Structure 1
Amino acid sequence: MRVVSWNLWWRFGDWRRRRHAIRAVLAEAKPDLCGLQEVWADPDENLAGWLAAELDMHWAWGPTAHPHQWQRRTGDDSAQFGTAILSRWPLADTATEELPASRGRTVVSATVQAPYARIPFFSAHLAATAFATAARLEQVDRIRELVAARPSDDHPPVLTGDFNAEPDSDEMRVLGGDKTSPSTAPGLILMDAWRFAEDGRAGLTWDRRNPHVAEAPEPSMRIDYVRVGLRYDLDVGRVENVGLAGTEPVDGVWPSDHFAVVADLSSPA
C-alpha cells in the first residue's frame, strides 16, 4: 500500500498551472492513500475533488473556519483552505477538527475501507514559523488523542501531514511517543517512516533548491511526514520503503513549495 503526504501550497504562485503538475506527480506515484495539506476550494471547484476525479479515487475534505489569513495574502476572499484525504478505497466516518492554539489549522480523519483491513487515516497541518513550538505541542497532544480514539483493530493508524517541525524538535518527539513521554495517549507509538530509509538520505521536504523555498529565510528542513502506528501483533502496515516525489519541475512548473513523502506499507499478497 502506497501512502503519500504532500503540502500543495494552496493558491500561491501559478496555481492554475501547478494543479496539473500536482496531478502528474500523483499519477506517476500511483498512491493508494494521500494526506494533502493547503488544499483550496472555491464556489466552483475543490482541488481535492478534482484530483480524486482525475485519479479515480475517493476523497474527503476538511476546511478551516478561519481562512482569512490566507485569503488576505492572495486577495481572494472566495477561496477556502483546508486538509484532505484521497483514497483508492471508500472512506467511512470522516471527521474534521480545528486544531488548538492556531486558528486555521485542521486535521481530517477517516476510516479507509480497504479490502483487507479498516485503516485509520489522518491528514494534519500544524502551525508554521519557528516561534510556534508551544502551539504545535498543544496540537500534537490533540492529534494523539484523536488517533488513539479511532479503532485500529486490524491495521495500525497512519498519520500524514505538514507538521512544520524538524524530527528532533520537542513536538515531533512528543508526537511519536518513542523518544519522550507524551502527555496524551500513553502507549501509542507513531513511527516516523523516514527512519526506514536505507541509504541515509536527509529526506528534505522544504528544500532550498526549490526556487519557492529559496525565497524564504529558513534553511532546508524535513517537516513533512508519514507516521505509522507501531504494532507487534500485525504484519500489515509495516514500512517497507520510503522516498520523495515532486522534487523536480513538471513542464517547467514546480508543483509545490514542498516535496511529497511517499511510503510503501506492507499489505497481504
Structure 2
Amino acid sequence: MIAVFCLSFSGGWSQQLQVMSYNIHHGADKHERSSLDSMGHFINSRKPDIVGLQEVDSLCERSGKTDQMKRLAELTGMHYAFIRHFPYQGGAYGLGILSKYPILKTESKKLQLLKEGPNGKSVSMLFATVELPGEKKILFVTAHYSAFDKATRQSQVKETLQYLSDVRLPVIFTGDLNATPDTDEIQQLQQHLQSVNTSLTPTFPDTLPAKTIDYILVSPAALQQVKSVSAPAVHYSDHRPLTALIDLK
C-alpha cells in the first residue's frame, strides 16, 4: 500500500479556505457557446481562495486563440498557472489554477494512458506550491482522469499516490476524476485523501446533475473542518463547479 505522508500545521495555526474545482469545457457551455467571461465573473462572485480548473484552452482555434487562464486571472484578480496535456489547434489544452495567494512553484506530472489516444500516451497533473498567510505552504493539485477507461483511471490513482508519497506539505487535490465515489479507483484514493463532499452532491451534467465525478480531497491530517459544500446551478460549462469552505489545521 502506498502511504501519503503530509504534515499538518502546528502551533495552533488554522486557515479557512474557499476551494473550487471546475471543469470549464474549454470555456464553452454544453451548446459550445463561448462563456469564458461569464465563468470568470461567476468565479469572482464566489470569492474563492483557490480554484482547480480542467479542460482549459490556451491559444486554441476553437476558443478564439484566447489565453484562457490569463483572461480568467484578469477577471478575478488572482494569480494563475497553466500546464498543457498536449498541443491542440495551434495552442495547447490542459489544466489551470487560480489562487488568491502567491504560487511559489508549479510542476507538471504525467499520468499514463493505457490506451493511447490521438494526442499521445499521457496527460498531465498540475502541482502548485501555494503560500498562505503566515508563510504556511500547501501543495495544490488538479487533474483530469480518463473518461472512458477504468483500467487507466486505476493506474492514474496509483500514479497520483506515488507522486504524493514523499510530499511533506498539506495537500488539496481537485479534479474531474470521471468516476463516482463507489468505484474501486475512488475508494482507493480516499484511503489516503479525504473527500469534502460527504453528501455526494452531484456535479454532472450541469442540468439536473446525476453524477458525482468532480472532487475536492484534502490530506486527512490537515483537514480540521468542512463548513459547507455546494455545486451552484450555473450553466457556463457542461459541469457544475464544486465548492467547499474548509478549515485547515
TM-score class normalised by the smaller sequence: 0.7 to 0.9
Match of 2:102 among 90, 114, 129: 90
Match of 2:194 among 188, 191, 196: 191
Q: Distance in 2 between matches of 1:11 and 1:53?
A: 15
Quick one: which amino acid aligns to residue 139 of structure 2? P
Unaligned runs of 5+ in 1: 68-76, 178-188, 214-219, 249-253
Matches within 5 A, 1:216-231: 220-231=210-221
Q: Distance in 1 between matches of 2:22 and 2:108?
A: 18
Matches within 5 A, 1:1-269: 1-10=17-26, 17-42=34-59, 45-65=66-86, 67=88, 77-101=89-113, 103=121, 105-116=123-134, 117-129=136-148, 132-152=149-169, 156-177=170-191, 189-195=192-198, 197=199, 202-207=200-205, 209=207, 220-231=210-221, 238-245=225-232, 247-248=233-234, 254-266=235-247
Q: Cα deviation per residue 1:167-196 (whole Å; 9 max; x = unaligned)? A: 00011011111xxxxxxxxxxx2011101x
Alignment check: 8 A CA contact 1:228 1:237 kept: no
Higher relative CO (Cα under 8 Å, sequence separation at least 6) belongs to: 2
- 1:101 deviation in Å? 1.9
Q: Distance in 1 between matches of 2:188 and 2:160?
A: 11
Give the TM-score of the pair, scaled to structure 1.
Answer: 0.75
Alignment check: 8 A CA contact 1:66 1:104 kept: no
- 1:207 deviation in Å? 2.9
Unaligned runs of 5+ in 2: 1-16, 115-120
Three-state SS of the structure 1 residue aligned to 2:201 is coil
Q: How many residues align?
A: 221
Alignment check: 8 A CA contact 2:230 2:244 kept: yes
Three-state SS of the structure 1 residue aligned to 2:112 is coil
Q: Distance in 2 between matches of 1:21 and 1:3?
A: 19
Q: Distance in 2 between matches of 1:237 and 1:79?
A: 41
Alignment check: 8 A CA contact 2:41 2:76 kept: no
Residue 267 to residue 208, structure 1, CA distance change in 2 (3 Å): closer
| Percent of residue pairs identical | 27
Q: Distance in 1 between matches of 2:227 and 2:201?
A: 16
Three-state SS of the structure 2 residue aligned to 1:48 is helix
